[in-house]
Amino acid sequence: MGMRFDILTLFPNMFSSPLRESVLGRAIENGLVQIRTINIRDFTSDKHHVVDDTPYGGGQGMVMKVEPIAAAIEWVKSQDPSAWVVCLTPQGKQFNQGTALTLSSRSHLILLCGRYEGVDERVRELFADEEISIGDYVLTGGELAAMVVIDAVSRLLPGVLGSERSAEEDSFFNSLLEYPQYTRPFNFRGSCVPEVLLSGNHSAISLWRRRKALERTSVKRPDLLAKAKLSEGDKKLLEEIVNSRDDCGLRNVDGRVGSSTKFQAPNSK
């Protein structure tokens, strides 16, 4: 039995196409992932299926009511009490690869997609196990955030990508950006594939890829290096990368010119 996602939403049709495509679609077909969209309106008790109301104390907009959300969560939990409730909200902790990895260890997630001006605070107080935000920007609702979480978590599940190495080599998996990738043709408008990748020397290729991942991360996301688990060999490579920069700056892996900065390995004195 695959990992299960229950999505509580007012707009279940938003998930129809994304859940049929690419890696995620195949994972669902193969039973590695199970996804169910649950319309919160189905858990209202009035004939008009009202799911929102004006906020106490006044203010703009509408707030999602606690009763239908509570009823939906309790209905899912009656089938599996261990289901983990995630509220997708700007107030949540920032979603990252570490969060995705932690969530992938669970067997059943309930993803609550907020709308309007948000949800009644009692949903968080009484039902939420975790609150997650996918970034510091405003979306119309939590549905797109739910898709991001489902995709990021699902690709970490055994068998979804077909190779465990694929996920391990993704950017951010080890707090490093991914090394540059190339395919045919060898020469495109004068820009050629690095010769080492055609050498057949797997040791040299691995070393080149590691060096490029470290170089790219140090240039584009130096903040990630503080979180990375670096070996002594990695630290030596980083020292070499920094020392190779001259006073005029290093042409970075993306073609831009960056200034030289002294690298200090995490936890080094």
4, 115, 124, 155: which one is catalytic?
155
Reply yes or no on whether 90 is catalytic: yes
Active site residue 155: yes
Residues 15, 119 contacting (CB under 8 angstroms):
no
Torsion of CA 224, 226, 229, 230, to 10 degrees: 100
Known active-site residue 46: no
Q: Catalytic residue, from 18, 55, 90, 180: name it.
A: 90
User: Is 125 among the residues known to form the active site?
Assistant: no
Which of these is catalytic: 131, 151, 169, 170? 170
Residues 78 and 28: their CA atoms lie apart, in Å, by: 23
**Token reading at 121:** 């605070």
Q: Are strands 3-9 and 130-133 parallel, antiparallel or unpaired?
A: unpaired
Annotated catalytic residue, options 52, 117, 130, 169: 117
State both tokens at 267.
């936890």
Q: Does residue 88 contact residue 34 with C-beta atoms inside 8 Å?
A: no
- The tokens for 243 are 């020392």
Catalytic residues: 90, 117, 155, 170
